[in-house]
Copies of this chain bind each other. A is one copy, B any other.
């Protein structure tokens, strides 16, 4: 099959036929060639054709409603093993089997991730594709189970093509070329990534760690590529200062939580002198929230906190336009008034303590607190970059991972409560 000779307009129908064959009896016993055909054709589709292809997948490979209903009724009337098995069979989308057969080809897993990446970009305006996305997410979640992921340290002995991807995927503090990367891979900086055996050349997610004498309150010195390298006797804290997902097609597959904990265990074993594991994290969208009036939607906010909150909002009196203007005029945390500082720190603390458990709360806080970390410190003048000042008035936060308490904290968080270090409350 010489795909590159095919008239582009025929490609879509070719892809749909390949789908049909792959799910047929012939496809059942086929090891890889039909899957390869489908992959090759899919990769030649235009973006628009891909959209049509997904619509087809979304429409044609659903469970049969009548069968589902009959199976559910039988199970409801008698919840026996037979009826449950029949129900499972009736209610699984045939799409899932299609994707499993696609996965038999060597590049199958990567293709499904890429398909989902494409799909996710249009999902917000194509809600009818959500069930297709759910099927992909379900399979990928099962296949990328944390137990199957291999953690590898990435260092200066790693292959260049892997390092190049680290540079490319770093999403928090951009890596400024190979010299910057080299600094981040010195003995007092570590980088760990998850890999899947099926995608040995693709880091899935990676975290960067700084080994420091104490918990840092600002990001500048930490990502300075000319900073001196510390020696092992100075390592007391492991600071997770950047965590980046590499595969948009794996959105929603839980990996970061497991990576941070496995890194912490690994470092603790290698360096028993480490006393704490902690992040230095941004607070994206904090000032948006402040400028919109800092609404507190949580129920269980203590009255004293509410009072402090109101006073701070009043004092700042910020609106988006006003804040933009100040930023443009060069507002900086190291020169602003004490009152302003106190008000911003109070609000940030409340934002994290009360709003993180709410819908729309800060995503970084949700991630770390949801992992069972504790809100440890709110740092003033911690990120003096333009972006840092604009989004969070230069504030950054330390979330502390106490490995003995992360499960309890996680449970508390699910139930709406945030764990925090006592000293934080002084800010409110």
Contact = CB atoms under 8 A, between A and B. Distances in A.
Given A79-B65, A104-B258, A131-B84, A29 B407 contact: yes
Contact of A161 (B24, B148, B156, B370): B156
A25 interface: yes
Interface in A32-89: 32, 34, 58, 62-63, 65-66, 68-69, 71-73, 75-76, 79-82, 84-85, 87-88
Contact of A142 (B63, B142, B159, B408): B142
Given A84-B131, A88-B134, A160-B158, A148 B31 contact: no
Number of copies: 4
Main secondary structure of the interface of A (DSSP, over half): helix
Nearest to A372: B29
Contacts of A141: 100
Interface residues of A, number: 84
A29 B65 contact: no
Contacts of A3: none
Interface stretch (A105-113, A114-122, A224-232, A279-287): A105-113
Contacts of A80: 128
Contacts of A156: 159-161, 164
Contacts of A410: 25-26, 28-29
Which are the 5 A-B pairs with shortest beta-carbon distances? Answer: A72-B72, A197-B197, A81-B131, A81-B130, A69-B76
Interface of A: 24-32, 34, 58, 62-63, 65-66, 68-69, 71-73, 75-76, 79-82, 84-85, 87-88, 91-93, 100, 103-106, 108-109, 127-132, 134-135, 138-139, 141-143, 145-148, 156-161, 163-164, 177-178, 182, 197-198, 257-258, 261-262, 370-372, 406-408, 410-411, 414-415
